[in-house]
Amino acid sequence: MTTVVLGSGSPSRLGLLRRAGLDPVVRTSGVDETPLLGETPVRLTRRLAHAKASTVAAGVADALVIGCDSVLEFEGVAYGKPHRPDVALDLWRRISGRTAVFHTGHCVVDTRTGRTVAEVCSTDVRFARVTEEDVAAYVATGEPLQMAGAFAIAGRGGWFVEHVAGHPSNLEGLSLPVLWRLLHRLDVRAVRLWR
């Protein structure tokens, strides 16, 4: 059976892949996620997904390596993991009651053949109008600090998402339909990877 490697330490991505029937090995890439000057959110996610998958693929053989990266685009600016409470609070004050776009870059490297495929998935997210008390309570949980766009749809942040236009699994950092297409382009059937 082909080994599937997730080139990400994201618990959301790992959980999603496991619920979808895969049992990936996790290898983090250590790639610097700093945006390049003038880089659009879509190009940023594509570049980082490719860098993560390529970096991890260089150290494994006979595997399918999946690399992903996500950002929330609001008013043309890409927001990754806020890491600090004040940054998360500031972002939530801006996106409350508004719509933003969640982009995830996907890249799969087949180390058996050397082939690489990539695609970006974008999902519109409309956030509820939340009170300062709600935002403070959410940020105090620590959940949004390590999540792109300062929210987790499958966690407490799900309370504040009113509408999603696009594939919902993308909001967990990996679109299953995109991964399906990428694997298909590599002549790999996802069902054959199920455990």
pLDDT, position 68: 98
Check 69, 90, 124, 187 and give the catalytic one: 69
Distances (CA, A) of 16 to 121, 130, 170: 16, 27, 10
pLDDT, position 120: 98
Express each pLDDT in 16-37 by its tens digit.
Answer: 999 999 999 999 999 999 888 8
> Which of 169, 137, 132 is CA-nearest to residue 156?
137
- Both structure tokens of 116: 């690489």
* 3-193 has CATH 3.90.950.10 classification: yes
Per-domain boundaries in the chain: 3-193
Q: The whole model's pTM is what?
A: 0.95
Known catalytic residue at 90? no
Question: Rounded to an integer, what distance in angstroms lies between the CA atom of residue 9 and that of residue 18?
Answer: 14
Express each pLDDT in 85-126 by its tens digit.
Answer: 999 999 999 999 999 999 999 999 999 999 999 999 999 999
Residue pair 121/85 in contact by the 8 Å Cβ criterion:
no
Q: Average pLDDT, stretch 154-161?
A: 96
Q: Average pLDDT, stretch 45-74?
A: 97
pLDDT band at 1 (very low <50, low <70, confident <90, very high): confident
pLDDT, position 23: 97
pLDDT, position 72: 98
